[in-house]
With several copies, the nearest count.
Chain A
């Protein structure tokens, strides 16, 4: 490597870092992405300037092939299919690493004349690259619905045993190579066992957890790239790979936290299945499962909604959450969301109970909607946020002639596109009856004292 190449590499990774810094804020993200891309161009040019570079036609062939596949794929993919695209791109990156490691093994005759670290890093790259490649492919397949979205698993303990076994075998094979045994079968074995491991780890994971998994595989691919860089003594690869590895790990953690999942639980498999199925399936209140959600999730849903209708009830009064609710409402409005408050005539425990509280919190009069005015709007409401209301939202009043509240006019909360219910438990309200609404597939429960829950949502909104 010449000094020029070296300096260009430094420039390149400086651009990566600078671009990545930009990507962490919504305002600078677009520019940041292109700055990083510029870094990549410089890194590639620098590499091509390396003295002794040859095989130009093959390089052109590879690049053209890649561009022909990658560019249209990236351009035409639908917005909703983005996640699987990212999985795919990540996968091929891992695949490249695995292939390079394989070639290196062959060229160096099992690292015959190389220092130990080359063997170690290269074999690490082979294993991790292979896991990433195949794992990402499965993730892609699941999201693209080529593979079934539901978890496919051998059952938890067995599955984990098998996975561990696969990992051990491939590492052992790698160690054998490290001790100088030069057999192509060995490296192929390493790659294959890692591949099977990648498949089996991702298969049992449900669709809802996929983003976290993709991020994890992304971090892995980064680490394998860094390892390849160490093996090839290539600064740009070391830095870029490591940055991705480190930032990717943190990102994975953040994503998992935001979704209320733990990474070990996800990787152990099967956990996210329920949520995934419910979210995907769309009906299924028959077996009466309740979906619970997190404050951050509620915050995101509302922040990107066009219209949110807040349905306060006695629980808001008990929690004295009115000020918190209004603060949240204002924040949503500042984000361009239309916020309305649906006041049911008998919400609370006295006539006008909600009015007293919301007036105290200074909620503008125009946002308070009577039942008759708001009921028509629920069908075009993205999120109905039910805060400590129960009976006044119970669809049984409309649909179940046997119900003691049958005939009472209710707020048609169940017609909203999605429903978030804030209450402390599954206990009934004043009328002492169950509320079907909570078992609706569109409904997510956020359990806890209404004030606390609203405050958490508010904080999450601020962080968005």
Chain B
């Protein structure tokens, strides 16, 4: 069955099976394949590409995709950055869409440039209202925020909700979310749903209203650091020291701390120092979503669940992959929107680089010098 597929009508889109460890997502789900087919695109899906998300191959076939070798396609859509070997399998002049980690792993970009592949990085889609449907960072962060709370509740030795029972009253857990971007907001919302008392903290001042709009409290430490494009900037040395000290005091009163603070292209700020963990009640939980860039907690061991000072510290690396079906679904819709932006009326892939969204998200161009 592994054979090259071309479409008489035009562009072929390839969907490989993700090879990164622990990855269960797939770049296109059958629903989206169906829509692309309706636009006249051919779709080739690697055998077992959907298995991690419990999507059997037959579902792809039912919507008109071919099971075969995706690497020869005109447009390859992926979730994770391609390995060196995978880049080698790409056709020259092909287009690659996926998370390409342009800021943290420049070598991927260099390899793609070498292979003469046009690469669009999902993380570089600008955070503007119009581009929200292509914003995979948001859609995946949303999954991560939700899952982080489930993980915290799972790890906690305590209940989240308040329960008045015949065997005594259980106080509601207090949850602190540090860094309230998309993931942080969803974490606050989910923790509140589960009955916890929630508090949010961020350095961008406009976030306080958003935190309150979810029924959470705002932890005000008096440090403001709004950066560009809706992101935060890195703190100065002095600000950092001040922040750590004030946070250490605050953290000791919480049962659960969920950290999501990121600064684009920089190591994650250290918000929870070792001493803060020490002061927490035994049995408390820290979930650190910033593990990939070093973690927001000093004691974090990225990818591990460790117990230190009787506090459980979990740093899951790829939470969206733990909810593969919906994470893939949302991701493929993002990809679909971006792909549709590149399509011409007659179904060719010809990105208009005067469009801010395409210009910003494109990291390599095959016709580049």
Contacts and interface: CB of A to CB of B under 8 A. Distances in A.
Contact of A352 (B132, B133, B165, B212): B165
Nearest to A408: B130
B164 A345 contact: yes
A196 interface: no
B103 interface: no
A355 B169 CA distance: 10
Given A345-B164, A359-B162, A370-B164, A352 B142 contact: yes
Contacts of A431: 129
B83 interface: no
A350 B189 contact: yes
B129 A346 contact: yes
Which size bracket describes the interface of B in this complex?
20 to 34
Contacts, number: 103
Interface string A354-368: 111001101001001
B312 interface: no
A368 B142 contact: no
Contact of A404 (B128, B167, B182, B195): B128
Interface of A: 314, 317-318, 320, 343-356, 359-360, 362, 365, 368, 370-371, 391, 397, 404-409, 430-431
Which 9 pairs between the two chains have the least Cβ-Cβ distance? A352-B163, A351-B165, A317-B213, A350-B185, A343-B164, A351-B142, A345-B166, A356-B189, A408-B130
Nearest to A410: B129
B161 interface: yes
B313 to A, nearest CB: 25
Contact of B129 (A356, A365, A404): A404
A355 B213 contact: no
Given A346-B132, A348-B213, 18 more contacts: A320-B213, A345-B166, A349-B185, A351-B139, A352-B142, A354-B164, A355-B163, A355-B164, A355-B195, A356-B195, A359-B193, A360-B193, A365-B172, A365-B197, A368-B162, A368-B164, A370-B164, A408-B130
A355 B164 CA distance: 7
B193 to A, nearest CB: 7
B214 interface: yes
Report which residue of A344, A345, A368, A371 has the largest number of chain B beta carbons within 10 angstroms of its beta carbon. Answer: A345
B186 interface: yes
Interface string B122-152: 0000001110110000110010000000000
Interface in B198-239: 209-210, 212-215
A406 B130 CA distance: 7
A354 B128 CA distance: 20
A395 to B, nearest CB: 14
Interface of B: 128-130, 132-133, 138-139, 142, 161-170, 172, 182, 185-186, 189, 192-193, 195, 197, 209-210, 212-215
Nearest to B169: A370
Q: Is the interface of A mostly helix, strand, loop or mixed?
A: loop
Given A362-B215, A365-B172, A352 B129 contact: no
Contacts of B213: 314, 317-318, 320, 348-349, 353
A346 B182 CA distance: 12
A362 B197 CA distance: 11
Nearest to B195: A359
A352 B128 contact: no
Contacts of A320: 212-213, 215
Contacts of B195: 355-356, 359
A320 B172 CA distance: 21
A413 B172 CA distance: 26
B142 A350 contact: yes
A404 B167 CA distance: 20
A408 B126 CA distance: 14
A307 B199 CA distance: 30
A351 B128 contact: no
A397 B128 CA distance: 13
A318 B209 contact: yes
15 contacts: A345-B164, A345-B166, A345-B168, A346-B132, A349-B210, A349-B213, A350-B142, A350-B210, A352-B142, A352-B161, A355-B164, A356-B193, A359-B162, A359-B195, A408-B132
